[in-house]
Amino acid sequence: MSIRTAVFCVALALGAPGLALARGYLEVEVAPPAPREEVIPEARVGYVWAPGYWEWRNHNHVWVRGHYIRERHGHHWVAATWTHEGQRYRFQAGHWDRD
């Protein structure tokens, strides 16, 4: 694991401030499992749903449950994703994009 990937993983695990705004990614050689089905609780005014996703932690995929986050006017939430690139899988953290 590279230093950059290790720092990113530590920041994810610690919930570093601003990380949700960062466009960080990490690459691993292990495919994530299929996403889990979640029951989305009733909508909350002023919040948007951030769906659950598989996070890479301690050399394993760990499910992070979906949750509501306070909305940001003029932005929309882009959910975390995994993409297959060659023999590796790239994780793109969830983040806000401008409308």
pLDDT digits 0-9 by tens, 2-35: 444 444 444 444 444 333 334 578 999 999 999 9
Tokens of 40: 């989305």
DSSP H/E element including 14: helix 3-14
**What Rg do the C-alpha atoms of the chain give, in angstroms?**
14
Count of domains forming the chain: 1
Q: Report the b/e string of 25-50 with b at 16+ CB within 10 A.
A: bbbbeeebeeeeeeeeeeeeeeeebb
Indicate whether 37 pLDDT > 50. Answer: yes
pTM: 0.72
| Residue pair 93/23 in contact by the 8 Å Cβ criterion | yes
Where in the sequence is the domain holding 32, given as residue range(s)? 3-98
